[in-house]
A and B are shown apart, each in its own frame.
Chain A
């Protein structure tokens, strides 16, 4: 285990140029996913996020086999699946989760078949599934920064409409908002956030970046604004600590970041100011010790 000071030294070491790049990517993706994840968590879209994450895979595989841009390939596949799910989900006979189940496993299967045609695929398969900090090219960092900024701008610009739809679709429609298009916009934003994050954290684990920090933030606050700030702070902090632990203990980076975020979630679940399990128990105990142990109504004469 190296000390945090040594970690900073390694970050500044020109021979380890991939390390600050990995840190930038991990923090950037966690922050973007933390904000996007707020919508995912509040709408109960976690399963959709999972689907999109898996659906990105065939695009990555095609790009890998053809030596093309991984980001572009992932984006095309992820967004195509998101749109397919949104369209098929309009059919009332099938529930949305079944549609998602069909498409995301199919996409994942397609990805495995495609990537198996490339020579020496086992190593790259592992990188795709579980992430790799060494393999991120410079151009992808630039793309991730640009995409991240665009996503934040889009969410900010359409914030009040997205919230209105999340709160009450029927009334939003009655107000004249284009609900289906706003849904598609949110799906595309989720897909894009996943695509830029997949290389760092891996296809299987990216869902955690989207859900865990935002879910922890929800436990800590009852206000949307603070939640949208806390989500990325928790995500970014977990990425920093996770990368440090991963580097110093030689652990896989994606898994370590996710475990750190999960630890934060568990702490929030136990100790959140109003809704934490331990906090509530403490409040109950304080209440019962103060009040007389009378059940039911106190007679009005008292």
Chain B
């Protein structure tokens, strides 16, 4: 087994590709409790990284710490620059330039009376600046982002009338409106049906292949194993990391999720204890046939 265990000094998969995001010894304490402890993580450009772990493992907190939304200790490198010494303001500004953040869908007020286009434009609010209106360049970037997620035909639709998959695309387009090198996606598949998940996975893979580092949290293991180039198994710290093939055995999964060897969870992703085959993608693809995205 070649699973990389936490504390190891592995740097990047494809040597030569630049590391877009590098996290070392990241520790976050919220309300006196250590939510994250000594996390190390990196994502290179062109790579789709899956961040998996059980509920409460700290996946969202890790993303928020990278964005500078919660105080943390340790080192965070964004696009080659160490930002952990920066003051909160500077750090957020720097993160804003390089990172596109796609929060969980319930963070967004979908009943707000705005169109798809207007919602995506809010991704550029800080770039446009105080006391200014959007200019031609801003609309061009919005258009480009909408094209990228294939939502241009719905750009005048009120956001409240969109399906779940379409909503997820709007949030991705809003993050893409600043053309970031790094994309952080928080649980993009929650509450979506399998065909919709498939379509979004295709989109995320394409976004990664355009020299972006895409980091995606996911509590759905099947989807994550299926989609990711590299996986980080998180449970308050990184329990193991590696490509899906490298994480072929059940042990790191059992540790990260706190389940026994006989757990159906392991069977679902083909990580079955000794004696049976550990084929990486067995059972991962069970897609529905008619591909329409529905709410």
Contacts and interface: CB of A to CB of B under 8 A. Distances in A.
Interface size band for A: 20 to 34
A227 interface: yes
Interface in B84-135: 89, 92-93, 95-96, 99, 101, 103, 107-109, 112-115, 118-119, 122-123, 125-126, 128, 130-131, 133-134
Given A42-B112, A177-B126, A170 B107 contact: yes
A161 B133 CA distance: 11
B125 A166 contact: no
Nearest to A163: B122
A150 B160 CA distance: 32
A157 B131 contact: yes
B123 A175 contact: yes
Nearest to B127: A175
B94 to A, nearest CB: 9
Interface in A220-254: 221-224, 227
Given A176-B92, A222-B158, A223-B115, A167 B126 contact: no
A35 to B, nearest CB: 15
B285 interface: no
A168 B108 contact: yes
B83 to A, nearest CB: 13
B69 interface: yes
Interface string A12-35: 000000000000000000000000
A224 B92 contact: no
A54 interface: no
A42 B130 CA distance: 22
B125 A161 contact: yes
Given A157-B131, A170-B103, A174-B96, A42 B109 contact: yes
Nearest to B96: A176
Given A174-B92, A222-B160, A167 B128 contact: no
Interface string A176-188: 1100000000000
B174 interface: yes
A44 to B, nearest CB: 9
Contact of B113 (A168, A176, A218): A218
A98 to B, nearest CB: 19
Interface string A240-270: 0000000000000000000000000000000
A168 B104 CA distance: 10
Interface of A: 42, 92, 157-158, 160-161, 163-164, 166-177, 218, 221-224, 227
8 contacts: A157-B131, A164-B122, A167-B109, A168-B108, A168-B122, A174-B101, A175-B96, A176-B92
